[in-house]
Amino acid sequence: MPAMRLIPPADCREAVAARLEIIERHRHLNAILGVNPGAMADAERCQRLRRGGAPIGPLHGVPLIVKDNIACAGLPLTLGCRALAGVRAERDALVIQRLRAAGAIILARANMSEFAFDVRSRSSLGGDVRNPLAPQLTAGGSSGGCAAAVAAGMADGAIGTDTGGSIRIPCSYTGLVGLRPAFRRRQLAGVAPLSLSKDTVGPMVHSVRDAALLHAVMLGERPAALAPRPVRQMRLGIVSSLQGDDDAQLRVWGRALERLRQAGATFIEVPLPILADVEAQSCLSMYEFHPAFGRWLQARTDAPSGLRQLVDGGEFLPEFRPLLEQMIAHGGLNAPEWLRGRRFQRRLRQALAFTADHYRIDAFLYPTARRLPVNLEKMPPGCAPELAAISGLPAVTLPCGVTGSGLPVGMEILTAADNDDVVLELACALEDALQ
């Protein structure tokens, strides 16, 4: 059983000072866009409360990293974009309010793929986020700064966003656990939008139990211990067509399945004919970003007045200009393609539920990404991350082994049940069995 790391430190000041030192030592990773100048003062306050015997929350004095598209009051909120370098958050996002109320200290803002567009994290403000395990490789995206920061020890937990795999892919590349929770629009208050029908916010940590703790706090619930099911009672659906063609990854994947089989898991090969349609889907953010982000800009006085003005100003990664122009040109939420995409979300959800019921499986199991990273450029992850992203169902990635070159391989668990606790309990049991 992996030890939980999100534990209130005995000395909050020492804990924060040590993490700030690690951030400074790892500047070459480009994981951090800026530290919170009030972090040490927050640590002093936490320590005074502890000394005074005041009741403390489950995250009292625990430093966290936050992706720079999630509002933290008084701090910049840039989405990695030069055009937004002067933007300041006026109030905390809902999830940040709840984390602070539980005692967490916001330590720093993480670099990300600009606007959260990509599966590798490159921004005009922060450059390329490098993988701490192999700095010549990408840490994935779009929450790559969060993943790199946690993997390098800058904090033991980070808060990222996941629209099409943006928590799970970086966690897979860096050997972390990441939860994409079931879609809940109310959780997104204070999060800069990419896709109103797919955006989620979730934890990036070292263990499933830490993920459950952070997730409960972000939901405004009292954290409770997970009750993992015995692996020998599990029926898991293997989707062979999602296993990819990376030989090094496949060797690790095969060994992981064998360990779970020895622990008593039952594997069932399940067909998913709908995968061809998943791969053919046009991304809903193509239609949702312009209206949603336009409203986000218009509500601010310290940002361009709209997406057109931002694009005309040119203060962003040039490679994103064609995409931004496309988004502006599309018909938004009136486009027939958007309506078809929304209908497909329901159809995919129904297909996954039917398959799970027909084969009597507890979850679907597949590698999080089709291939391992080979450089700083984006690696097409395949359509596996889109199963959860399009359906709105919860999924967890966890490390299931390491290649001969030292790169981790992520295992994704997706349930057809719209219940985060179910997928976390399954993932916790699998994590324990793989240790």
Residue of 113, 123, 124, 142 with catalytic role: 142
> Cα–Cα–Cα angle for 53, 217, 412, nearest 5°?
135
DSSP H or E stretch at residue 158: strand 157-162
Give the Cβ contact number of residue 322 at 10 Å. Answer: 9
Cα–Cα distance for residue pair 408/402, rounded to 1 Å: 4
Round to whole Å and give the CA distance between 352 and 311. Answer: 39
How many CB atoms are closer than 10 A to CB 96?
26
Task: Determine the length of the chain.
Answer: 435
Residue 7 φ/ψ region, left for φ over 0, alpha for ψ in the -120 to 50 degree band, beta for the rest = beta
341 vs 390: CA distance, rounded Å: 9
Cα 165 to the chain's mean position, in Å? 7
Q: Is 123 a catalytic residue?
A: no
391-425 burial code (b ≥16 CB/10 A, e <16): bbbbbbbbbbbeeeeebbbbbbbbbbbeebbbbbb
- CA angle in degrees (0–180, nearest 5) for 77-80-86: 45
Residue with tokens 């393609």: 337
Check if the beta carbon of residue 348 is closer than 8 Å to that of residue 414: no
Residue that is written with structure tokens 């336009």 in the block: 294
Catalytic residue among 67, 113, 285, 391: 67
Give the whole-angstrom CA distance, residue 208 versus residue 63: 18
Reply yes or no on whether 240 is catalytic: no
Phi-psi region of 429 (alpha: psi -120 to 50; beta: other; left: phi over 0): alpha
The CA angle 48-36-31, to the nearest 5 degrees, is 130
Indicate the Cα dihedral angle 427, 428, 430, 431, nearest 10°: 110
Contact 414, 178 (CB under 8 A): no
Catalytic residue among 143, 166, 195, 285: 166
Active site residues: 67, 142, 166
